[in-house]
Structure 1
Amino acid sequence: MEINVERLLQDIERYSAYGASDVGGVSRPSFSEADREVRCLFIQELKEMGLAVTVDGAANIWGKKKGKGNKKGSIVIGSHLDTVPNGGKYDGALGTLMAKELIKTLFEKGVVLHHDLEIVSFTAEESNDFNLATFGSRSFTGKLTVEELEKASDHNGKMLKDELKKVGGGLDKFPMMRTMAKEKKAFIELHIEQGKRLESSNCSVAIVDRFVGMYRSNVRVVGQSNHSGTTMMEHRADALTAAAEMVLEVERQCKEDDSDLVGTVGKLNVFPNATNIIPGQVEFHFEVRGGEEKRIYQVVEKVKEKWKILAEHRGVDFHEDVFLEQAPILLDPSVVDILKNTAEEMNEQNITMSSMAIHDAVHMASVAQTAMLFVKSINGKSHCPEEYSAKEDIRKAGNLMLKSIINLDKNLL
């Protein structure tokens, strides 16, 4: 039994027309016209497949294929259909449309699971104008409340509660999600990798066993502002040149670590930011992500030790304000093992890796036994029109997921 990969690829092309840009990308942010249109299409197609469709309070779209009824709860598969501005056609959509293809295949082969099988498309997974990324899955799992969202608005003053109503959701429907969440037994999300690890390993598919932990802080480097023309080089306490060396130290220490750990300085503010004034202060955000909490803090400490030496050498001070310390989140070992064992059964080469980015699965892990599959991203491209996963990689991942769902259905009580 195999998926119809040609039909799936046709679906991906059809859906990419909603929000298509002139330069080959897709712009389909949540609550946009293109998003509303693609929601209607998706709901219509789920109904045509014979699924029972529900739109919950966060406007997440659910379609249920009833099982034999001798095992309680649902196995859920899916992802999201919204995109970043001028993004690609695979991020999110591949996982959601793959789920639709898997259910079609089971229908065609006459396979009925012991559990109910559900497809979901989560609302607003991507960063959006309401500043509420992974909005749908966070809301569904109780991490966002009605009270928090009552006054949420975008930069144009549009109220989130009004936009939810337009697409079938609504803050008044939030209580229903608590009841729905209790029915979800397991969740598998398929997603493009968005990096080069699979390509480097010459593998089509990866089994994701955890989400990386994250350390973020705001660092303030304080030097001395002075006239750029009259202050000799040996008399300067330049906060920007010191910060530049500090940024390079982050890169150096993270490269020396032999795990999947990464570090980034992604935002800088320079004061007073004038052509003829030596920068007296620089602020930047420092981030380290990794699959092992111990390694994260080992690297953070090494970085800060080097920073102290640099600061003394350059005659500046630095202050750090930590605003995020998130431990790695392990996904369900039993579901991960089923994915691994199924891949072995199929002789499908694979690797196990951490997810370096946040996906809806990280929130679903709090209400259901959860794991993920990654599909190879060619050249690691994502969030851009060049985003691409090859047909053969998609086929292999889809067939692995199909067989894994059947094995999961047998093994879950």
Structure 2
Amino acid sequence: MQINYERLLKDIERYSKYGKSPNGGITRPSFSEADRLVRDLFIHELADMGLRITIDGAANIWGRLKGSGKKRGCLVIGSHLDSVPNGGKYDGPLGVLTAKEIIRTLTENNIVLEHDLEIVSFTAEESNDFNLSTFGSRAFVGKLTKDMLENACDSKGRLLKEELERVGGSLDNFPAMEKSFKDKSAFIELHIEQGQRLESENISLAIIDKVVGMYRSTVRVIGQSNHSGTTMMEHRKDALAAACEIILLIEEICKNEGNDLVGTVGKLNVFPNATNIIPGMVEFTFEIRGESEKQIHEVVNKIRDNWMQIASEREVEIGENVFLNQKPIMLDSEIVSILKNSAVELNEPYLKLASMAVHDAAHMASVAKTAMIFVKSKDGKSHCPEEYSSPEDIEKAGNLMLHGLINLDRQLD
């Protein structure tokens, strides 16, 4: 038994028309008009498939296919339908639409699972104007509460609670989600890799056993502003020059570390940011992602030791404000094992990888047995119109998810 990948590809193309820009990118942030239209389409199609539709307090869309009733709880598959501005058509929708195709395949082959099966599209997985990425999954598992969100608004002053109500959600229904998540036995999310590890090994798919830990801080380098023409080079305390040296240091240390650890400086603010003034202060974001908490802390400490030496040599001061220190999240070993065995049954090569990005699965792991499947991304590109996964790779990953789900249903008590 296999998925109908041609039908799946047509679904992907059809959904990509919502929010499509002239250059081929997709702009479909949550609560936008394009997002509302694609939500309506998805709900309509799930209803046509005979699924029982539920929209929870966070406006996550659920569709349930009844099982035989032999086993309690339900298995969940899905991802998200929103996109970043000018993004691609695979990030998120591939997981949702593959889940929809799997349900169609099971129904057409008269396969009745022992568990109920649910498909989900989570709300606002991507970064958005409310500064609440992975909003739907975080809210569903109780990491975001009604009290936390009562006054949340976007840059235009629109209240989140009003936007939620427009798409069928409600802050008042948040408490009911706790009862709902206790019903979820397992969750599998299929997603594009958004990197080049699979492509480097020429392998179509990966089974994901953990989500990396993440450390983020704001670093402030304080030097001395002065006239750019009258201050000789030996008399300068240039905060930007010191910051540049630190950024190169971060790159060098992380390159030498290896083991799927990455470091990034993605945002800088320069003060006073004038052509004829030596920068007196620079603020930048500092991020480290890695597979182990110990490794992350060792690298951060090594970088700190070195930047203090730079500060001394350049006569600048350095301060740091840590705003995220997230431990690695281990996914469920039982589901990972079932997916690995299913790949062997299908004679399908795979890699076992850690996810370098946070997905909805990272939050669902706190309430249900959870794992992920990654699909090879061409050139590792994502969040851009060039995002692409080949039909062959999509078919292989979809079939692994289908057979893995059937095996999970049999083996999970």
* TM-score for the superposition, normalised by structure 1: 0.98
Q: CA deviation at 1:2?
A: 0.3
Q: CA deviation at 1:148?
A: 1.3
Q: Is it true that 1:272 corresponds to 2:272 in the alignment?
A: yes
Q: Is it true that 1:85 corresponds to 2:95 in the alignment?
A: no
Counterpart AA for 1:205: L
Instruction: Give per-residue Cα distances to partners, 1:142-174, cap 9 Å, x unaligned.
Output: 111111111112222222111111111111222
Counterpart AA for 2:19: G
Counterpart AA for 2:112: V
Please give the alpha-carbon distance, in whole angstroms, between the structure 2 residues aligned to 1:178 and 1:22.
42
Please give the alpha-carbon distance, in whole angstroms, between the structure 1 residues aligned to 2:188 and 2:31.
25
Equivalent residue, structure 2, for 1:38? 38
Equivalent residue, structure 1, for 2:138? 138
Q: CA deviation at 1:404?
A: 0.2
Identify which range, 254-263 or 301-310, moves more after superposition.
Answer: 301-310
Equivalent residue, structure 2, for 1:372? 372
Counterpart AA for 2:103: I
Within-5 A mapping of 1:281-292? 281-292=281-292
Equivalent residue, structure 2, for 1:351? 351
Equivalent residue, structure 2, for 1:60? 60
Q: CA deviation at 1:259?
A: 0.4
Q: CA deviation at 1:318?
A: 1.2
Please give the alpha-carbon distance, in whole angstroms, between the structure 1 residues aligned to 2:130 and 2:258.
38
Equivalent residue, structure 2, for 1:257? 257
Partner SS state of residue 22, structure 2: coil
Q: CA deviation at 1:175?
A: 2.3
Instruction: Give per-residue Cα distances to partners, 1:176-231, cap 9 Å, x unaligned.
Output: 21111111000000000111111011111011111111111111112222111111
Instruction: Give per-residue Cα distances to partners, 1:299-337, cap 9 Å, x unaligned.
Output: 112211221222222222212222211110101111111
Q: CA deviation at 1:27?
A: 1.0
Partner SS state of residue 358, structure 1: coil
Cα RMSD (Å) of the superposition? 1.0
Partner SS state of residue 324, structure 2: strand
Equivalent residue, structure 2, for 1:223? 223
Partner SS state of residue 77, structure 2: strand
Instruction: Give per-residue Cα distances to partners, 1:248-287, cap 9 Å, x unaligned.
Output: 0000000001200000111111112111111111111111
Within-5 A mapping of 1:5-404? 5-404=5-404
Partner SS state of residue 266, structure 2: strand
Please give the alpha-carbon distance, in whole angstroms, between the structure 2 residues aligned to 1:134 and 1:323.
17
Q: CA deviation at 1:34?
A: 1.0
- Moved segments of 4+, more than 6 Å: none
Partner SS state of residue 266, structure 1: coil
Partner SS state of residue 44, structure 1: helix
Please give the alpha-carbon distance, in whole angstroms, between the structure 2 residues aligned to 1:281 and 1:155.
27
Please give the alpha-carbon distance, in whole angstroms, between the structure 2 residues aligned to 1:106 and 1:322.
48
Please give the alpha-carbon distance, in whole angstroms, between the structure 2 residues aligned to 1:280 and 1:168.
50
Please give the alpha-carbon distance, in whole angstroms, between the structure 1 residues aligned to 2:166 and 2:323.
35
Partner SS state of residue 124, structure 1: coil
Please give the alpha-carbon distance, in whole angstroms, between the structure 2 residues aligned to 1:371 and 1:56.
23
Please give the alpha-carbon distance, in whole angstroms, between the structure 2 residues aligned to 1:12 and 1:142.
31
* Structure 2, unpaired ranges of 5+: none
Please give the alpha-carbon distance, in whole angstroms, between the structure 2 residues aligned to 1:294 and 1:201.
28
* Structure 1, unpaired ranges of 5+: none
Instruction: Give per-residue Cα distances to partners, 1:21-44, cap 9 Å, x unaligned.
Output: 111011111111111111111111
Instruction: Give per-residue Cα distances to partners, 1:92-133, cap 9 Å, x unaligned.
Output: 000000000000000011111100010000011111111111
Q: CA deviation at 1:294?
A: 1.2
Identify which range, 305-314 or 246-255, moves more after superposition.
Answer: 305-314
Partner SS state of residue 153, structure 2: coil
Counterpart AA for 1:272: P
Counterpart AA for 2:134: T
